[in-house]
Each structure stands twice: as C-alpha cells, then as structure tokens.
Amino acid sequence: MRLDRAELRLVSLPLLKPFRTSFGVMNGKTFVLLRLFGEGLEGVSEGVMDVRPDFREETTSGALALLQETILPSVLGQDFANPEHLMRHLSGIRGNRMALASVEMAFWDLWAKSLGLPLSTVLGGVRNEVAVGVSLGIQPSIEATVDSAVRHAEQGYKRIKLKIQPGWDVKMVRAVKAALGDLPVTVDANAAYSLGQINTLRELDTLGLDYIEQPLAWDDMRDHAKLQALMQTPLCLDECITSAQDTRKALEMAACRLINIKVGRVGGHLEARRIHDVAAAFSAPVWCGGMLESGIGRAHNIHLATLENFTKPGDTSSSSRYWARDIVHEPLETSGGMMPVPGGAGIGVTLDLPFLDTLTQMKVDVKP
Ligand code: OSB
Ligand code: MG
C-alpha cells in the first residue's frame, strides 16, 4: 500500500451533556482527525490526545505538530506491505503513542479496505457484536446518579461504571449498588487517590465492585501493586498501560488483575492486540475503553473489541448518548447492551464531510 497524501484536521464536537471526571469537566471533544489516502482509497482515524494533558501527557497541539512535521513526512510517498511494516518504519519514535496510533489506525482502515474485508476480520476478531457498559460522569447529586444508572441499566447496558473522586465515592457507590442489584458496577478514579487514602480505598473494597479502575497515579504501577495486595477487589489499569511490556510488568508485579485497552492510548491496533495476548497468557481479562470518541474512533474500538479475550463489557456505548449528531453517516447504537460491528470493508463507517467541515477548526494537507 503506497501512501499518497494525508489530511489532518482539528475537529470540535459539542457533547450533549458535560462529562465530569476527577480531572475536570469536558463540554465537548476536540480531536485530531486523520485521513490517509493511497491507491484510490481512504483510511481514517481519530486521535485520543486532549487539549490539556490531564489524562496522559500527549496534547492535540503537540500531536498535530509531530504528525505534520515528522511522522507523516516519513511515511508519505512510501510503500508498506502491512501495518507491521509501517510500525517498524516508525519504531525509532519514542513515546507519543497517541500520535503514532493515529497513523497506525488510519493505515489499518486503508489496508482492510484494500483487502475488501472488515477491520475486525483482518484483526482476527471472533464476533459480530460486542458487549458494552456505560461510563457515567460525576453528577450533581447522589439521586441524579442513581437515576442515571437505573435508566442506563433499563437500556440494557451490561455494566455501570461510575466516575469517582475523594468525597464522591463510598456513599454514592453504595446507593447505586443498592438500586441496581446484581448488575456489575465498577468505579474509575482517573488517578485521584493515593495510598494515604487507604481507609476510603478499603471501604470501596467492601462494596462488591467488579473492579476499581486506575485509583492511583497515572504513572505509578508500583503503588498499584501495593494496593492490590491489600484489596480483594481486582484493580484495572488504564492510564498506566501504554504497551504490551507495561502489561507484562503490571501483571507480573500484580499491580492489577485486568486491563482497560484503549487502542488510541497504546499506539494502535497492533500494540492493542499484543496487550490482549499478554493479558490472555496471564488469564487476565481485558475490555475496550473509550475516550468519548466520535463515530470514527468508536468504530475502531468496536472492531478491536471483537478479539477473543475482550470478555468484559467495554465503554463503547451508543453515539447518541454523547452527540446530537455524529460525524459519520452510519448510526452506532446499542440494543440490549450489544453494539453491532459496522459491516463493510475497513471500519465500516463513512465521514459526513459537509457536517465535518462545519466542525473543523483547522485543516492541513500533507504531501510527500
Ligand atoms: O478514564 O476511561 C476513562 C473519558 C474520557 C477520558 C478518560 C476516560 C473516559 C471514560 C468515558 O471513562 C469512556 C467513554 O464513554 O468513551
Ligand atoms: Mg479510565
């Protein structure tokens, strides 16, 4: 597959409702959209870096510059036999896995289209729909949280994940658990606690949660290992994991018992699949996380989640939860807690270009 040219955009899509986590409030999603052209076809990806480096360290502005000035010029005009070949070519680039994932994922879409196959098939997926849960942001009150959790449970979501932070945890989680009965409930702290708050963490341990996601610092596996040794409830790492090597180390030191895989966080589908394989070798389940993606990133996530060891419900819930109108034509909607894998070649969704143009803050064409 020869890569002819690329188009980079910075896109802003307003959320229907603000999404609050321990690190801040999001009123919309501003993301890097990459269109990669070759052999008369087009592959598309969505970056998961944020405007502020408050989840991990990469930013939209930093990634745009790196993609435009360094990564894209080094691959355009070149021929790559497959995604492995492309990533070997880029292997000298340290870190910056969100920026690398943008190119890698757009290439997979392009390559799957050239083969005339759905991305899930090319990745080795084993199902045509994936189980999903929902991630609920921090609400103004416990009543509002219980209400929202019950409404989403009624829609069939297979697990409810609650965002927590110090002062918004045990009491709220207890109320939601009481309202939901047997439905799996999890919490995600986005790194808001430290071992100094062990008393609260021990209380969370008594609530029958399915797992606790990233309670401690974004870059600290060691303290997670200390905490896991004190807790019955499995820990799940998100921010800490950017590679298969990270995954091996985390599971070897028992810093967690399962992994949230976000393809955009770990450098693309190849690395996501390696993480999936390493976790399987440790008998650790994985599930597919989300970063409030538009239909492009969401479609990539859904295809990835068809791999065998994605045995826990993911975060790729219906697009209509997030957006009044998505940037792709095809609806990505769940029914009974299942998200169908978009059919057709590649990621199986197509850009609504006139609508996308109205959301585009910046656009640049990159040529060899
Ligand atoms: O930690 O999983 C996270 C959203 C933005 C940034 C980080 C996270 C999240 C979510 C929402 O939990 C997942 C989604 O609905 O896409
Ligand atoms: Mg998380």
Number of domains in the chain: 2
Is position 42 within any domain? yes
Ligand nearest to the backbone CA of 314: 1
Transcribe 4-21 into DSSP letters: -EEEEEEEEEEEEEEEEE
163 is catalytic: yes
209 and 85 in a common domain? no
Distance 358 CA to ligand 2 centre (A): 30
How many residues does the structure list for the chain? 368
Structure tokens at 127: 């199902």
Distance CA 87, CA 219 (A): 25
ipTM, two decimals, is 0.99
210 and 239 in a common domain? yes
Is position 287 within any domain? yes
Q: Are 223 and 237 in contact (CB under 8 A)?
A: no
Q: CB under 6 Å to ligand 1: residues?
A: 55, 135, 188, 190, 238, 289-292, 315, 317
268 and 156 in a common domain? yes
Cβ count within 10 A of residue 108: 27
Q: Give the mean pLDDT per block of 10 residues along the chain (368 residues).
A: 98 98 97 98 98 98 98 98 98 97 98 98 98 98 98 98 98 98 97 98 98 98 98 98 98 98 98 98 98 98 98 98 98 97 97 98 97
Is position 345 within any domain? no
Distance CA 320, CA 56 (A): 26
Domain of 208: which CATH number? 3.20.20.120
312 and 276 in a common domain? yes
What's the CA dihedral at 344, 128, 347, 328 to 10 degrees?
90
- Please name the residue whose Cα sits nearest to atom 13 of ligand 1: 290
Contacts of 350 (CB under 8 A, 6+ apart): 328, 329, 330
Which atom in ligand 1 lies closest to the alpha carbon of residue 161? 12
Domain containing 151 equals 122-340
146 and 104 in a common domain? no
Residue 23 sits at φ, ψ, to 5 deg, of -100, 0
112 and 127 in a common domain? no
Is position 39 within any domain? yes
Distance 75 CA to ligand 1 centre (A): 31
Which atom in ligand 1 lies closest to the alpha carbon of residue 292? 16
**Whether pTM exceeds 0.90:** yes
Phi-psi bin for 321: left (phi > 0), alpha (psi -120 to 50), beta?
Answer: alpha
219 and 274 in a common domain? yes
Distance CA 19, CA 135 (A): 10
